[in-house]
Structure 1
Amino acid sequence: MQWAVDAFARRGYSARLHRAMVTDTVAASHGAE
């Protein structure tokens, strides 16, 4: 079941990475205003 653990970890990492990019984008847009 290692593949399931890897897939879960990868999905969790992707979610954190996506959230970080959204946060950076929002911060940049607020800074430009």
Structure 2
Amino acid sequence: MNDNRNSIKILIILIPIILAIFLSHWSMTNNMNQ
């Protein structure tokens, strides 16, 4: 059960980071297209 809680904490930390990287990468490619 402790491992499960730790993995959930890791997901909560990682998901916003991945989203931020994806959004910054998408905005960069979008600016290049313009």
TM-score when normalising by structure 1: 0.71
Structure 1 unaligned spans of 5+: none
Structure 1 runs of 4+ off > 6 angstroms? none
CA distance in 1, matches of 2:28, 2:9: 29
Aligned-CA RMSD value: 1.2
Q: TM-score, normalising length from structure 2?
A: 0.70
Corresponding residue pairs, total: 33
Structure 2: runs of 5 or more not aligned: none
Partner AA of 1:10 in structure 2 = L
Identical columns (%): 0
